[in-house]
Amino acid sequence: MPARVVRYQGAIVRDHHLLLIHHKEHADGRGYWLLPGGGIETGETEEACVRREMHEETNLAVAVERLLLDAPGVPGGIYKQRRTFLCKVVGGEARPGYEPEAEAANVYAIDAVTWVDLRDPGTWGSFIQEDEATFPELLRVRAALGYPSGVAGST
C-alpha cells in the first residue's frame, strides 16, 4: 500500500481498559494488536474520521473527547504520523469490524478485539509486550492518560 501522511486512531477507554483490535494477515496468518484507526477521507474532519474508523473497525459509536497524542509513525510503516484521540463509548458492543478499503482487506482481516487493563501492562501478555510498535505506543497512551510509569508485573 502507498505511504499515507496521517493515521487517525482512537484510544477507546472504559473502566481503566483500552480497546485493541487484532489484525490477521491472510498470506501467513501473522497477527498483531493495535489501536483502531486509519486514513482520513476527502472532506472529512479529524473527529469524523475517528468516529467512522472506530465504528468500522470495532462496531462502537464513540464520542471524540480530545487529541491525546501526536507522534511520528512507525519507521517503515504506511503512515508518517499518528494522531491518537481519546474516545468514549456512546453505543454498541465491541466486536471485530471490517476493513472497507479493498487494498487493505486483501492483506488482513480484523478478527478479534480485546480490552487491556491500563493500570497494569504486566497483564497484557507477551504477544503485546514483545510487539516493538504497539507496546511502546500503549505505554505512551498510558502516560498521556496520567497512569504511573513503569510496567508492573512484566518480566
- Contact status, residue 120 vs residue 43, Cβ threshold 8 Å: no
8-state DSSP, 95:
-
What is the average pLDDT value for the chain, to the nearest integer?
A: 90
Q: Which amino acid is at 91?
A: G
- Contact status, residue 68 vs residue 35, Cβ threshold 8 Å: no
Given this structure, which CATH class describes domain 4-144? alpha beta
Main-chain phi, psi angles of 60, to 5 degrees: -105, 145
Question: How many CB atoms are closer than 10 A to CB 109?
Answer: 18
In the chain the beta strands, taken as DSSP E runs, fall at 4-14, 17-25, 31-34, 37-38, 61-72, 79-91, 108-117
pLDDT in tens, 63-89: 999 999 999 887 877 888 999 999 999
Q: Residue 116: left (phi > 0), alpha (psi -120 to 50), or beta? A: beta
pLDDT by 10s per residue, the chain, length 155:
445 799 999 999 999 999 999 999 899 988 899 999 999 999 999 999 999 999 999 999 999 999 999 998 878 778 889 999 999 999 999 999 988 877 788 888 899 999 999 999 999 999 899 998 899 999 999 999 999 876 554 43
Which residues have CB under 8 Å from 74's CB, separation 6+?
A: 133
Domain boundaries in the chain? 4-144
